Amino acid sequence: MKEVVAKTRWQQEREDAKQQRVVLMIDAAERVFNAKGIDKATMQDVATEARMGIATVFRYFPKKDKLIIAVATRIIESQIETFDTIANGQETCYEKLEKILDFFITLIGPAHSKNTKLLEAFESYAAQSTEPLEDLDLYNDAMSRIQSSIMNIIKDGMNDGSIRANLSLDDTIATMTNSFALFAKKLSLQSSIPMLEFKIESAKQLHILKDIFLSYLRP
C-alpha cells in the first residue's frame, strides 16, 4: 500500500513538473512573440528565452503553430472569468451588457495592450495560413465559453424587460459585442503606432459607441 501511495505521489510530482515547464514555455513564447512578432520568432528564440534546450521545447510543442495556439488560447482563457462573473451577477441584462462593453474599453489600456496586439497578430497569422492550424479547436473552445456567457445574459434579457422586446436578441447582441470588440482592438493597435495622431481619444470613441449601442437597446 505504501508503495502505491509513493508511486502516486511521484507521478503527481512528475506531472506538476511537466505542467510547470509548459507554463514556462508559453510565458517565454508570449514574450518572444511580443518582441519579435509571430512570423519572425523562432522556436530557438523561445528555447533561449525559457532557458531550455530546443529539444525540450519541441518535445512539448512539435510545431510552432501549436505554441502560437497555446499563447493565444491562454490570453482568451484569462478573460473567461470576467465574462462569467458578469453573466452570473444580479444586475439586469442591460446592466450586464454595459459591463461587457466597459470591459472591452479596458482592452485598449496599458494593462491589456500587448495581449490585444498579440491576438490581432494571431488572427492575421491564422487567416493567412494555407492549412488549418493544429490545436485551433482549443482556441475556439475558449471563445465558445465566452460566447456561452453572453448567451446566458441574452436569455435573462428575454425575461427581465430591461431591453427592447422587439429585437432579435441573438443576432443583435452578437453583432454589437463583436463590432465593439473589433473596434476596441483596432483602436488599441493604432494607439501603439508612434507619431500617429488622432483628433478623438480612443477611449472617448468607445464611450460614444457604447452609448449608441445601449440607447438602441433601451425599451
Q: How many CA atoms lie within 13 A of 165 on its CB side?
A: 3
Same fold, 1-62 and 64-217: no
| Cell numbers at 216, concatenated | 438602441
The Cα–Cα gap between 88 and 105 comes to: 21
DSSP-derived secondary structure letter, 167: S
> In the chain, where are the structural domains located?
1-62, 64-217
Tell me which residue of 210, 91, 106, 107 sits closest to 153, measured CA to CA.
91
pTM for the full model? 0.84
The Cα–Cα gap between 94 and 158 comes to: 11
CATH architecture of 1-62: Orthogonal Bundle (1.10)
| CATH code given to domain 64-217 | 1.10.357
Q: Collapsing DSSP states into helix, strand and coil, what is residue 140?
A: helix
State percent of the chain over pLDDT 90.
47
Q: What is the pLDDT of residues 131-176, one digit of tens each?
A: 888 889 999 999 999 988 888 888 777 778 888 888 888 888 888 8
The Cα–Cα gap between 108 and 118 comes to: 13
Q: Is it the case that residue 197 has pLDDT exceeding 80? A: no
- The least confident of 55-69, 87-101, 168-182 is 168-182
Phi-psi region of 68 (alpha: psi -120 to 50; beta: other; left: phi over 0): alpha
Give residue 218's pLDDT band: very low, low, confident or very high (50, 70, 90): confident
